Structure 1
Amino acid sequence: MGARKLLIASSMGLVLWTDAGMAAQDEDTNVQNLPAIEVVAPQPAARRSAPRTAARVVNSGKPKNRIYVYPTAPGNAKGLEVDKIPSSINAVDASQIKRTGSLNVTDALRDNVAGVNITEVSGNPFQPNVEFRGFVASPIVGTPQGLAVYQNGVRINEAFTDSVNWDLIPTAAIRSVTVVTNNPAFGLNALGGAVNLQMKDGFTYQGAEIDTMGGSFGRIQSSAQWGKQVDTNYAVYAALEGLHDNGFRTSSQSDVRRFYGDVGYKGGDSEFHVNMGLANNNFGASATVPAELLQQYWGAIYTNPQTTNNRVGYVNLTGKVEATPTWTFEGTAHARVFEQRVVDGNPTSVQECAAVGLLCFGDDTTPANGLNGAQLANPFPTGSLLGELDRTTTRSTTFGVSGQATNTDRLFDHENRFVLGASFDASVTRFNATAELGTIGTDYVVSGSGVFLGQSGTPATGEMGPVSLRTVNQYTGLYALDTFNVTDAFAITGGGRFNHARVTLEDQLGTALNGDHTYDRFNPVIGGTYKITPELTAYAGYSEANRVPTPLELGCADPNNPCLIASFLVSDPPLKQVVSKTVEAGLRGTRELNIGTLGWKIGGFRATNYDDIMGLPVAGRQGFGFFQNVGNTRRQGLEAEVNLKSDTLQFHASYAFVDARFLDALELSSNSPTAVLNGGLIQVVPGNQIPAVPRHRIKAGIEYAVTDAWKVGGEALWVSSQYLAGDEANLEAKLPSYAVFNLHTSYQVSKNVQLYGKVDNIFDNRYATYGTFFDTTAVPNFANGGAAFTDPRSLSPARPRAFYAGMRVTF
């Protein structure tokens, strides 16, 4: 209901504002808005008249061949010249985000960044996994995270799990997104890089826009944004978004409600901002589905309900002072409250005891106790198929401060840029979990009984008693980077960051989960760029990064006492921190042609993880698993991109090769068919590929202005096959490759009104983006008369063909 009210309000606003005469001023195209593979200064003068649109660019007067690659408040500083960045450049601007017609910023990353692959592990398009070079930023609790994500200079990986809830990010308010690689300045989790989100404000966006779209599967969405500069010193910006989508799967509805606002002040050489955001989102269908059920019905689910409610509120204070012509000081203070509630229907190891009238665990003799400690009587009819409703609540409160000083004094009469920064973040999390017994119907829906499990048995036999845990994270970082121009063409960068982390666990129901863990690490970086010609630059760099185990991983690290992932924790041994060492090198360039500006780049990378952490399943225990250091792993590959930009044509194409492998011999727990036949274990040999990482990705996109008012375009994506999660030994059949094609068009009806439409998956391909294995004996195949499942694969089905149409009105 909340999302529908927001959509109605936005539509009413569209009518009320239609006659307004003020033209909207679109995003500033300064350094923060470099396109995805643009690496040079602005394009040449227009060769034809501009399309009829109300959008106008705000000229900030800032250099346009710079990009911001530091983890402090974006938008306030001049950034670093792109020709001096010793790593790959991957950026997406607001126009590319808008072109997707999506309220998921991850869609723009998928279309425009070569190394990015999107998988809907959760079964919901608004909670995707973002995989880049084999490293993941995922909303799925229990996924080992390898990317740091920053919004307005604030790290937004969740405190308890380091997960990233992409649905909480206000997409309409994004000014640009940069995927920064080979840079330890972004602190913890930047193993594969950092995603740096920079937001709009009233100085860079002025005017108003209302964007409403609807289409297949009951989708209706609307966003409204407004920015205004008051006199020369003050500016205000606000964005409001709402979405409802029924989804193509049973019980896969989504409701998204988000707000973002910014108040800014500029005076002399100083600039200050207060920005805040709120979100309250609900999702269904958060799991994979047995392949046999998908063959019967593409929208099938398996064990329901699967609901998630995410809520967040945050406020950030940012400031910049240019103390002298060569000294700039920046600072950020932030507070954030995040709450997640999950209800998950699952099979259970509780069953009737050998003794009639009582409940036991899987061995028929271990008592299943209630909350009062007494063995539970069996309230269910004989022969009932039992399940359980697992409920978790995670509430994290985070406070933090950061500061950065930048000096541009010449050194030995050469240009030099020195950056010194520090950050401190403290988070307190309260995690609670309960398990309610119930029955599973032929529709795979678990119906609760009001009977809750208490502490009983042992974790190895299926004990699922309540959990109440308080955790405290304290992360401190100090970094320094220096970029020195040896010559006008040759620049070197060096520096590093020291990270200190302390993670404390306090069991609220006993002492089993108590723990106090401290991790320290200094991560260096060194690199250089050489401008071979005015149109060609070479780069190379080496860096190190680390991530520390999360409270969830530390609370679930014992293979003898597995946990129901994302729900319950047990007392476990500590884990080692992960250290990644990365080297990358490449070439990038641009050239002016008669038909437009040609840009291209090609580069290679190799990242070696030491003491990598993986989440491992347990054979025969649906949903159970644990976290373990798995020795060394390596991710290496090649990325190549080309693009052409003119007033009539926008074209880009890219290829990415990602080779992710284990480097050590391992014996791992698994739920693959081979493991089930071998006591739940598989043997990994050096060179085995890491599952769920496709080796090849090919992307292409084009948009052509048929007239000044009418544009047409499309995108194509091909992703190669990949091993299913749980098949680390590479013994099972792969998840097949897939290709998907999308079309879009827009027509500028008048200066203020634009109509647009798009078709996703135009050939209606049925494919899965992710696969794993499940316990085929846990629940019967009711779609096949109650027979046992025979196919152990469980997949995440992609959305079928979908049609959407919308309208944008600017003022």
Structure 2
Amino acid sequence: MGAGISLDKVTTNVHVMTAEDMARAQSISIADYMNQYMGSVSVNDAQNNPLQPDIQYRGFTISPLMGLPQGLSVYTNGIRFNEPFGDSVHWDLIPKGAVESMTLQGGPNPAYGLNSLGGAIAIKTKTGFTAPEHSLTLSGGSWSRHNEELTSGWNNGEFAYFLDLQYFHEEGWRDFSPSGVFNGLGTLSWRGDDGQLNLTLAGANSSLIGNGAIPVELEAIDRAAIFTQPDKTSNHFFMSALDGNLWVNNEIELAGNIYYRSNRIDSLNGDGSEFEECDDPGFLCEEGSDEIVEDINGEPILANDEVEGGTLNTSETDQWSFGLALQAAFNQRLWGHENQFVIGSSYDLSRVAYSADTELGSLNNERGVIGSGILVDESRVRLDTTTNSFGTFFTDVFNVTEKLAVNVAARYNIVEIDMQDRYGTALTGKHKFGLFNPAAGLTYAFMPEINFYGGYSESPRVPTPMELSCADPKDPCKLPNAFIADPPLDQVVAKSWEVGFRGHFSNVLDGGVQWNLGYFNTINHNDIIFQSAGKANSAGFFDNVGRTQRQGVELGLNSSFFDRWRMALNYSYINAVYLTPFTAHSPSNPFADANGDIQVQNGSHIPGIPEHIVKFSSDVDIIESLTFGFNVLFNAEQFLRGDEANLDTPLRSFAVVNLYTEYRFNEHLTIFGRLNNLFNEKYNNFGAYGQTGDVLEGIGIADQDTRFVGVSAPRAGWVGVKLSL
């Protein structure tokens, strides 16, 4: 919504991306751009799908995958974009050409509401007023990837429309990994002297294959190979929203939005089986147990080749949400000083129908699962949830002097979660959370070239219905397909403070330099993590583990010279550690004790987060119509998930170089190209533990505890053309 404040009065570090930035970088999504160019951002390729990355920012995660403790909030035109069931975010729902701008603000800002522990992403989409153009963009290249996008925008000064339609498809560089997305966004707008209204409709259908990590033994044989298949996620998304603002007079602005959003997420996951013939022959038992497995009709399952070797885990998450928000901004002088006071409130209602099943099956020669039609009773889930969220907040920026501004803010949230088990009673429960969150800070402009910022803030993360349904260590679930009784989890509270300097030097070699240098420190109280509970790669439960800390230093430089040469450098040091000792169960970790436990100590590094991240990019207009650029990404080593005690060897550090170019024949025709991983670097940016079981016996890999890794994509290139009117 409206009531923005100048960036030099924001008390945290802020990254900004424009539509021009993403187009020049030829990024396939916002997540791709963040990984390549924004400081303190890294990626875990747990799925190995370009549209399904786990984004890490300052050690906090935002991901499309259930089972990860999400730590960032995402808003599109002021509307919360995190899914209501697990707080996940799907990057494939909004076409990239519809994005006008994106800001990534660090720290738990109360104004952004729940789950803004590490920061918030605010996306603004285009309208016919901001993008009055017509274009068709076509591209294609490696892995049979092709992308077609049609954009059209128009206005007459009072009315406007905007439309963006995109189709993306690729076969993928790994075996059995095709993916396709069709998405679109359209906006009808009205603008008058005192306000504006926008009606936005968006939709998407996608089928994404993410065959995930593979054992290191298999990686050594064939990096393009998959462990088991299929692993498909499909989204069926629709959103309608009305937003607008009205200036009551020159000092008071009203803004608000109302929306309806739905997304049905279907998942199909083929896995190796944990079921085997019982010691009492003839029936099927779960590995390590003598309890006979029953089907959904209560009948014992006979052991035979059709039900041994593999499982098909399916789920359907049918969710919709409705919400509205209203705020008022008062830009009035207070005691003779400039002041901006904003007060607002929001209400969100979401309902989810979740269902899941495990079908027994066998493996074919390509490690695909062939279903038997027999469903396991203990894995069946039918769960309905209703979540009501209410929040009210205020912010105030008071200019003590022309150079000194004081910023205070606070928010109060009430969240009620009602869970109804439709296949028994174990999951039924009601939970209520409420918390007051303050923030305060200041900025001081010593001169135009140097600006100081600093502040303290708090923000909560309420346990999601998914986490509350998977929190019993005595009865672990296998995400994302099975849930269990719901012992309560405490909400996470992040307490953060941040200080730094930033500024802008102009007229440097006929250009300018923007820079920032800052320190952040965030401590999560009652942090929630997913703990492994079995030999299976995904079996476990969510648990509060006390305090964790993310602290670090950020350095950024962004410069342009002679109006044709641009450079950017971002360096981040991120120290993400556990502060409360606890016992983690990680039975596939080779350094676990006889019970499968590891002892996490104060100061142990949180897995999956590199301590050092360096990003450098540069592009130059060689001639007025030809641009050539490159970027370099370096990530330091990181520990594997399941090695919270830091006992095993971490994944090694790596550096990747990418090239891109663009030639503009005229204002109507542009050709472009991109080459990723120029030196064909082989690296891993994700790791976890699991067992191969009998899955790989056909290629001579025996059952053993092993490291599973996310493998890097090889060198690849694409070319395209953009036609504009």
Classify the TM-score, shorter chain. over 0.9
Per the alignment, residue 57 of structure 1 pairs with: none
- Displacement, 1:672? 4.2
Match of 1:800 among 714, 719, 722: 714
1:618 matched residue in structure 2: 533
1-side partners of 2:555 and 2:698: how far apart?
46
For residues 492 and 141 of structure 1, the distance between their equivalents in structure 2, rounded to whole angstroms, comes to 39
Local SS of the residue matching 2:22: helix
Among candidates 622, 637, 653, match of residue 569 of structure 2: 653
**Aligned residue for 2:155?**
229
Choose from 50, 57, 74 the match for 1:132. Answer: 57
- Paired position in structure 1 for 2:269: 344
Question: Given that residues 273 and 319 in structure 1 are in contact (C-alpha distance below 8 angstroms), is that contact kept between their aligned partners in structure 2?
Answer: yes
AA aligned to 2:716 is A
* Pair 1:88-2:13 in alignment: yes
1:781 Cα deviation from its structure 2 partner? 2.6
1:525-582 Cα distance to aligned partner (Å, 9 max, x none):
1000000012210110110011010111000101110001111001131100000001
Question: What is residue 200 of structure 1 aligned with on the other side?
Answer: 126
Provide the residue aligned with 1:560 in structure 2. 474
Of residues 658, 673, 688, the one that matches 1:772 is 688
| Cα distance in 2 between the residues matched to 1:146 and 1:406 | 28
Give the structure 2 partner of residue 17 of structure 1.
none
Q: Mapping of 1:625-636 within 5 angstroms? A: 625-636=540-551
Match for 2:321 among 398, 413, 434? 398
In 2, are the aligned partners of 1:541 and 1:585 still within 8 Å (CA)?
A: yes
Matches within 5 A, 1:418-433: 418-433=341-356
Structure 1 equivalent of residue 597 of structure 2: 681
Corresponding residue pairs, total? 722
1:75-96: CA deviation from partner (whole Å, max 9, x where unpaired): xx35211221111121111111
**CA contact 1:600–1:640 (8 Å) conserved in 2:** yes
C-alpha separation in 2, matches of 1:742 and 1:386: 41
- Mapping of residues 346-745 of structure 1, within 5 Å: 346-363=271-288, 365-380=290-305, 385-454=308-377, 463-464=378-379, 466-592=380-506, 593-646=508-561, 647-674=563-590, 676-745=592-661
For 2:589 and 2:457, how far apart are their aligned partners in 1? Answer: 39
Partner SS for 1:495: strand
Are the counterparts in 1 of residues 691 and 705 from structure 2 also a CA contact under 8 Å?
no
Alignment of 1:108-147 (within 5 A): 108-147=33-72
For 1:653, the aligned partner's letter is L
**Structure 1, residues 255-295: CA drift from partner, whole Å, max 9, x if none?**
01100000000122021110010000101134211111111
**1:364, distance to aligned residue in structure 2 (A):** 6.0
Q: Distance in 2 between matches of 1:94 and 1:782?
A: 50
Give the letter aligned to residue 435 of structure 1: T
Q: TM-score, normalised by structure 1?
A: 0.87
Answer yes or no: is 1:191 the counterpart of 2:117. yes
**Kept in 2: contact 1:688–1:729 (CA 8 A):** yes
Contact 2:211/2:229 (8 A) holds in 1: no
d(CA) in 2 for partners of 1:273 and 1:442?
A: 54
Kept after mapping to 2: 8 A contact 1:425/1:476: yes
* Counterpart contact for 1:121–1:796, Cα < 8 Å: yes
Which amino acid letter does the alignment assign opposite residue 308 of structure 1? Answer: T
| C-alpha contact (below 8 Å) 1:519/1:548 kept by paired residues | yes
Of the candidates 198, 223, 227, which is equivalent to residue 302 of structure 1? 227
Change (3 A) 1:536 1:374: same
**C-alpha distance in 2, partners of 1:674/1:800?**
30
Structure 2 residue identity aligned to 1:269? D
Take 1:79 and 1:621, find their aligned partners in 2: how far apart are those partners? 48
8 Å Cα contact 1:92/1:112 also seen in 2: no
Q: Secondary structure at the match of 2:35?
A: helix
Instruction: In structure 1, give the amino acid aligned to 2:314.
Output: R
Higher strand share: 2
Contact 1:249–1:285 (CA under 8 A) maintained in structure 2: no
C-alpha distance after superposition, 1:182-218 (max 9, x if no partner): 3211011100000000110011110111111101011
Shift of 1:676: 4.5
Alignment of 1:332 with 2:278, yes or no, is no
* Amino acid corresponding to residue 73 of structure 2 in structure 1: A
8 Å CA contact 1:260–1:278 kept in 2: the answer is: yes
Q: Do 1:468 and 1:509's aligned partners in 2 also have CA atoms closer than 8 Å?
A: yes
**In 1, Cα distance between the equivalents of 2:289 and 2:428?**
31
Question: Could you tell me whether the CA contact under 8 Å between 1:290 and 1:791 is conserved in 2?
Answer: no
Deviation, structure 1 residue 790: 4.9
Q: In structure 2, what is the Cα distance between the partners aligned to 1:202 and 1:186?
A: 27
CA contact (8 A) 2:211 2:226 kept: no
Aligned-partner Cα distance in 1 for 2:191–2:512: 35
Aligned position for 2:236 = 311
- Tell me which amino acid in the other structure corresponds to 2:354: F
- Give deviations 1:23-71, integer Å, cap 9, x for gaps: xxxxxxxxxxxxxxxxxxxxxxxxxxxxxxxxxxxxxxxxxxxxxxxxx
2:182 equivalent to 1:285: no
Asked if structure 2 preserves the Cα contact closer than 8 Å seen for 1:396 and 1:427, the reply is: yes
Amino acid across the alignment from 1:410 = R
- On the 8 A contact 2:270/2:310 being kept in 1, the answer is yes
Name 2:247's counterpart in structure 1.
Answer: 322
Normalised TM-score (structure 2) = 0.98
Write the distance in 2 (CA, Å) between the matches of 1:247 and 1:137: 23
Query: Does the CA contact (< 8 Å) of 1:669 and 1:675 recur in 2?
Result: no
Question: Does the Cα contact within 8 Å between 2:590 and 2:705 map onto a contact in 1?
Answer: no
Opposite residue 737 of structure 1, the aligned amino acid is S
Q: Please state whether the residue corresponding to 2:691 is helix, strand or coil.
A: coil
1:96-155, Cα deviation, whole Å (9 max, x unpaired)? 111222321112112221111122211211101111000010011110000000011001
Q: Which residue of 2 aligns with 1:38?
A: none
Instruction: Check whether the contact 2:338–2:399 (CA below 8 A) recurs between aligned residues.
Output: yes
Tell me which of 51, 57, 77 is aligned to 1:152. Answer: 77
Identity %: 34
Aligned mates of 2:235, 2:167 — CA distance in 1:
14
Shifted more, 167-176 versus 706-715: the winner is 167-176
Whether the aligned pair in 2 keeps the contact of 1:672 and 1:727 (CA below 8 Å) is no
Q: Which moved more, 1:97-106 or 1:551-560?
A: 97-106
Question: 2:273, 2:308 within 8 Å by CA — same for their partners in 1?
Answer: no
Q: Is the 8 A contact 1:741 1:763 kept in 2?
A: yes
Q: 1:791 to 1:758 in 2, by over 3 A?
A: farther
1:30 matched to which residue of 2?
none
